[in-house]
Amino acid sequence: MVVIPPPGGVVSELEEAVRISQRKTTVRLPQAFARDMVGTPPAPPLSAVMQGRGEMRLKVLLTTLMMATAPPHNIKVRPAELASMLGLREPGTAGVRRVNEAFKSLEALGLVRRDRQPGYVPNTAILNPDGSRGEWDDTKLEAGYITLPIGLWKRGWIVPLSGRAIALLVLLREATGGRKDNTGWIPGPRKRQYGLSEDFWADATTDLIAAGLLDVEAKTYKAQGEPRRRNLYRLHHHRLDQFDPGSAPTGVYNGI
């Protein structure tokens, strides 16, 4: 995937949305949005969002969450505004349809609630991203929550990145959260807790590497006294704040 910078007007709209939100550093998500450590089989909300044509659902959800800053995380936003800031073609017509379809799916998943009245801008409430369908209050998050750099929106990355690349960014922020070197192993049992296919991992990894946001290197470690090789993921999430889309150095893949 080649990362092509979005038009300057789109970036300006995203910058304005960030300014109004008053967010300075990150957007927070609960760990359970990405990783299901209870269900059999695991079914975290992120994997449900990504089923089928999940890209628009994920971008609409995360962008609405970014704008809906304080509890109870409600915001009035026109679908045409979202379509425009996400760089959709024909934002006033076809773009509106795509945004509304995404919201309809997110409502069915219990991740948003929309109150619509004729003649008024819809009021959209972000529900708990853990899938519980309860009210959302990110001030009550427990340790282990996921953070996404505000540069994902402020510098326009949300537009050219594929949905699977953004989803993998969320997963790797969960996997590497708290580590200063931003690296992490993804052993098989943990990977299954994310509920996404091997094809997803392969394609999303390719996309994040091409964007310059990820390196993958095979490393040898010992398990029960036997040497084994496993991919080590090194996430360059700080580049979202440091670079414009398409300008970051390409990532490196030396994995297995």
Omega before 79 cis (within 30°)?
A: no
Give me the residue spans of the domains in the chain: 8-148, 168-174+181-254
Q: What is the pLDDT along the chain (256 residues), one digit of tens a residue?
A: 779 999 999 999 999 999 999 999 999 999 999 999 999 999 999 999 999 889 999 999 999 999 999 899 999 999 999 999 999 999 999 999 999 999 999 999 999 999 988 888 989 999 999 999 999 999 999 888 999 999 999 999 999 999 999 999 999 999 998 787 899 989 899 999 999 999 999 999 999 999 999 999 999 877 677 788 889 999 999 999 999 999 999 999 999 8
**CA nearest neighbour of 252 among 229, 227, 234:** 234
Q: Return the closest-CA partner of residue 122 out of 73, 58, 74, 70.
A: 74
Q: Do domains 8-148 and 168-174+181-254 have the same CATH topology?
A: yes
The CA distance from 113 to 134, in Å, is 10
CATH architecture group of domain 8-148: Orthogonal Bundle (1.10)
- To the question of domain 168-174+181-254 being in CATH 2.60.40, the answer is no
E strands present in the chain: 26-29, 74-76, 112-115, 123-126, 146-149, 183-185, 214-223, 226-235, 253-254
